[in-house]
């Protein structure tokens, strides 16, 4: 499992919708105030109309039409009794009327078919046509047509006679109907009919006056309906204003909540991205540490202790071999020629090491301008510095207690160093494999801590996991570990920009100073480090843009 860079996500702010403005309560109150003023104008008019309606419809006087309607009922009953005694005549009158209507219809049908309605008119037309024939001036076709017409007119004479007989029967029925009506219409019946008509006229007059009253009342009802509608409209307007305000307020609150949610999501996305970047940084640092060759520190300690103890050795061959051994395992540097004129102020030149005031960063008395003194062994006593003793114990090499044990210790150091170099490539590969396993198990907790899914102690190198875990109770890293990482980074830098022999001297001095109080920065390491004419200070100062390494001579 490899750790890749987090995918770039679009900011949540780009997905924001339209901003909803908060509704103005002052505008709402002003509108409601105007509506209340309109309602106060309508209410008095509506109350006046209601009082007028109550005054019109509130009277409970007796209606005179009741007695008149009762009398009309009595008259209708009397007329009904009279009609029962005259029912036979009425039936005869009805039969005659029906017969008369039928005869009139038949007569009309016959007359519609005849061109002439009287016998005299038919005879006159026949005589006219016969005279035309006797004149002899007509064509044969015209004579045939006239003969046909004369024949049809003679046939029509019979229909005209029947129509005249039907007219005589109609006149007889009309006379019979008139005679029956005279026997039916007697004086008492006429008196009842006259009284009935008089009472009906009175009822019509009273109804007319009542209709005028009702018309006035209906006008009042219409006015009340109109005013009530205006009042309801104002009430509805008031309700609409309140509903619109509170709907807008709810929409505003909803928009604010959505905005908070979007901000929270944006914060979470940003936080997640930061945590992922932290995870990538830890993974990158794990890989950088795994890239450091294994047993580098042990090999350097072996060389430094070996060279230190070699000063006490009396084996000339061993001393000669150590002097002729070329530095190994140091890559050939692609030396970058430093431009000491471009970025240096006018009149300023680099100070040589001999002209500088050296800053000593370890405890103890200064040994400036003093050459190394060869330590002599007095008798059987053999004293070593505490730092050398610690390094021998760290390497698990027997500490020499006398000059006789010195050769065994030197051989043990050489064996240790060769063993480390032989297993260096395999151990480095194992460190890389375990680093990848730790990277695969890296997780990000909700609190922002970068942890491992399963606790596993790294096999080699520096344990920097605690350095990244933000915990109040975390343990501070050892100063030696931080300093070692600092030395390795500086060594890589020097290996790319200086010659290999110089690197070896620099690295030896750096690791030898590790037993003293560690420096605080790369700058301080460089300033307290011997080099060829201040080359180390120039290199570090150029990279770190620190002008303190550029001194006026």
Work out the end-to-end distance of the chain between its first and last CA atoms, rounded to an integer number of angstroms: 56
Question: How distant, in Å, are the alpha carbons of 81, 260, 292 from that of 507?
Answer: 152, 56, 15
pLDDT of res. 257: 92
The predicted pLDDT at position 64 comes to 76
Helix (H) or strand (E) holding 524: helix 522-527
Given a contact cutoff of 8 angstroms between Cβ atoms, the answer to whether 513 and 361 are in contact is yes
User: Using one digit for the tens of pLDDT, what is the confidence trace for 426-452?
Assistant: 999 999 999 999 888 876 544 455 565
Distances (CA, A) of 455 to 10, 33, 461, 463, 465: 35, 72, 17, 12, 11
pLDDT at res. 422: 92
Residue recorded with tokens 């030197």: 410
Beta bridge partners of 451: 443
| Strand 442-444 versus strand 450-452 pairing type | antiparallel
| Cβ atoms of 406 and 313 closer than 8 Å | yes
Task: Report the alpha-carbon distance of residue 82 to residue 196 in Å, rounded.
Answer: 15
Q: What is the number of H-type helices and E-type strands within the chain?
A: 15, 2
**How many whole angstroms separate alpha carbon 389 and alpha carbon 393?**
6
Compute the distance between CA of residue 283 and CA of residue 442 in angstroms, rounded to an integer: 8
Which residues in the chain land under pLDDT 70? 1-17, 57-62, 85-86, 110-125, 130, 132-134, 136-141, 143, 146, 148-162, 184-187, 325-381, 443-553
Closest CA to 89 of 3, 184, 12, 170: 184
Task: Catalogue the E-assigned strands of 162-240.
Answer: none
As given in the structure block, the two tokens for residue 74 are 């009595």
Looking at residue 457, its pLDDT comes to 43
What is the distance between the alpha carbons of residues 203 and 71, in angstroms, rounded to a whole number? Answer: 11
> What is the C-alpha to C-alpha distance for residues 450 and 367, in angstroms, rounded to an integer?
46
Residue where the block lists tokens 């008798």:
379
Contact call for residues 296 and 428 (beta carbons, < 8 A):
no
pTM for the model: 0.34
* Beta-carbon-side half-sphere exposure of residue 194 (alpha carbons within 13 Å): 7
DSSP 513: G
**DSSP string for residues in 23-83:** PPHHHHHHHHHHHHHHHHHHHHHHHHHHHHHHHHH---PPPTHHHHHHHHHHHHHHHHHHH
Tokens matching residue 140: 């044969």
Query: At 330, is the secondary structure helix, strand, or coil?
Result: coil
3-state secondary structure of 328: coil
Average pLDDT, the chain: 71
SS (H, E, C) 241-282: HHHHHHHHHHHHHHHHHHHHHHHHHHHHHHHHHHHHHHHHHH
């Amino acid at each position: 499992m490899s750790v890749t860079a987090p995918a770039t996500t679009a900011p949540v702010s780009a997905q924001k919708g339209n901003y909803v403005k908060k509704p103005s309560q002052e505008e709402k109150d002003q509108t409601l105030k105007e509506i209340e003023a309109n309602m106060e104008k309508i209410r008095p008019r509506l109350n006046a109309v209601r009082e007028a309606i109550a005054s019109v419809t509130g009277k409970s006087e007796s209606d005179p039409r009741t007695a008149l309607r009762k009398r009309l009922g009595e008259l209708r009953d009397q007329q009904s009794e009279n009609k029962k005694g005259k029912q036979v005549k009425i039936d005869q009158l009805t039969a005659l009327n029906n017969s008369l209507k039928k005869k009139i219809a038949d007569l009309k049908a016959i007359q519609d078919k005849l061109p002439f309605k009287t016998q005299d008119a038919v005879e006159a037309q026949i005589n006219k046509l016969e005279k035309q024939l006797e004149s002899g001036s007509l064509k044969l076709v015209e004579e045939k047509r006239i003969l046909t017409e004369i024949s049809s007119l003679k046939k029509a004479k019979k229909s005209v006679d029947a129509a005249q007989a039907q007219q005589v029967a109609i006149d007889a029925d009309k006379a019979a109907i008139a005679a029956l009506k005279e026997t039916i219409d007697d004086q008492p019946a006429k008196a009842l009919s006259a009284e009935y008509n008089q009472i009906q006229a009175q009822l019509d007059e009273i109804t007319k006056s009542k209709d005028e009253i009702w018309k006035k009342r209906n006008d009042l009802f219409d006015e009340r309906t109109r005013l009530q509608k205006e009042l309801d409209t104002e009430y509805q307007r008031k309700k609409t204003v309140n509903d619109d305000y509170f709907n807008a307020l709810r929409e505003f609150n909803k928009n604010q909540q959505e905005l908070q949610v979007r901000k929270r999501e944006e914060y979470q996305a940003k936080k997640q991205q930061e945590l992922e970047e932290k995870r990538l940084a830890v993974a990158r640092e794990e890989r950088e540490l795994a890239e450091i060759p294994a047993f580098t520190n042990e090999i350097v300690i072996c060389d430094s202790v070996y060279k230190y103890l070699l000063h006490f050795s009396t084996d000339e061959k061993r001393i000669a071999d150590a002097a002729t051994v070329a530095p190994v395992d140091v890559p050939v540097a692609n030396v970058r020629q430093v431009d000491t004129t471009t970025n240096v102020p006018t009149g300023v030149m680099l100070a040589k090491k001999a002209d500088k005031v050296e800053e000593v960063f370890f405890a103890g008395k200064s040994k400036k301008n003093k050459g190394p003194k060869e330590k002599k062994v007095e008798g059987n006593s053999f004293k070593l510095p505490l730092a050398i003793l610690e390094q021998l114990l760290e390497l698990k090499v027997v500490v020499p207690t006398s000059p006789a044990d010195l050769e065994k210790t030197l051989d043990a150091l050489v064996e240790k160093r060769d063993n480390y170099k032989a297993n260096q490539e395999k151990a480095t590969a194992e460190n890389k494999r375990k680093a990848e396993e730790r990277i695969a198990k890296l997780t990000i907790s909700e609190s922002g801590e970068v942890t491992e899914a399963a606790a596993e102690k790294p096999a080699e190198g520096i344990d920097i996991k605690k350095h990244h875990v933000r915990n109040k109770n975390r343990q501070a890293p050892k100063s030696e570990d931080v300093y070692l990482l600092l030395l390795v980074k500086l060594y890589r830098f020097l290996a790319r920009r200086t010659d290999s022999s110089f690197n070896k001297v620099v690295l030896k001095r750096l690791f030898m100073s590790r037993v003293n109080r560690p420096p605080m920065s790369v700058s301080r390491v460089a300033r307290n480090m011997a080099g060829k004419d201040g080359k180390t200070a120039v290199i570090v100062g150029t990279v770190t843009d620190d002008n303190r390494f550029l001194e006026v001579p």
